[in-house]
Structures are given as structure tokens and as C-alpha cells.
Amino acid sequence: MAQQSHGPVVLHIPAASAYLALTRATTAAVCARLDFPVDLLEDAALAVDEAASLLLQDAVTESELVCRWTPAGDNLIIQVSSQSSSGRTPRETTFAWTVLTALVDEVTAELAEGRVTLSLTVSKVGAIAS
């Protein structure tokens, strides 16, 4: 049987908290498809929820939230972005940022053309070893 390639998954939803369940469900589905351990799958889903919530606080009204899950070897790169009303990335000194960084291996934030993107890296290598 040929091994299947796992390409990126992209989700466009309204920038509203009512749609956050879709980001969690998609994260869980992508992680399950990539054979991530259950505890890592749950951490990744919580991290995406936290990242999306951070961005929604500053999202332009009636804009969209875009989530992208990209497999990269033993890593999963998750990007969550929205149009920013303030033109700033989330502060990295908040409790929400601390929670986010505790759930994944790496978090970065960038602003480009008025969109804030949070990039989360989740690695299953450390989880398998522990």
C-alpha cells in the first residue's frame, strides 16, 4: 500500500467566537490523522483555541479568521491569522500568551499587511520519547 501524503489543511471562518469549535475540531482531526498521541492532540487543540481567542480580541469586525495546519516531518505547523484592528501582535507578557507557549513547542507572532499571524509548532518527537 502506498503511503499517503499529508498536505496542508486550510479553514476560513468568520472572526467570531461562535466558530472556535471548528478550529478545535479541525486541529483534533489533523492531529489524529498524523497519529499524534491523544494528550498532544488535546494540547494542540487547546493551543489553537487560545491563539484564535487572542486574535479575535483584536480582529476587524466581520473579517475572517484563517487557520492553516501544515505537516512538516514530525512537526505540525499551525498558523492562525486575522485582520488586526490595532495593527499590533498580541503582547507576549499576558497570561494567555504564557498558557499558549506552555501548550506547544514554539510560538511566534508576526504582522504583515494588517494581518496578525500566530504560528504554532507542535512536535510529536518529544511526546513519543516521554
Q: How many helices (H) and strands (E) does the chain have?
A: 4, 5
Domains of the chain, each with CATH number or no CATH: 9-129 (3.30.565.10)
Residue 91 has pLDDT above 70, yes or no: yes
Q: How far is CA 5 from CA 70, 100, 122, 128, in A?
A: 11, 29, 19, 21
Residue 74 has pLDDT above 70, yes or no: yes
Classify residue 63 by its DSSP letter: -
How sure is the predictor about 128, in pLDDT bands with cuts at 50, 70 and 90? very low
pTM across the whole model: 0.90
Residue 99 has pLDDT above 90, yes or no: yes
Q: What is the pLDDT of residue 2?
A: 41
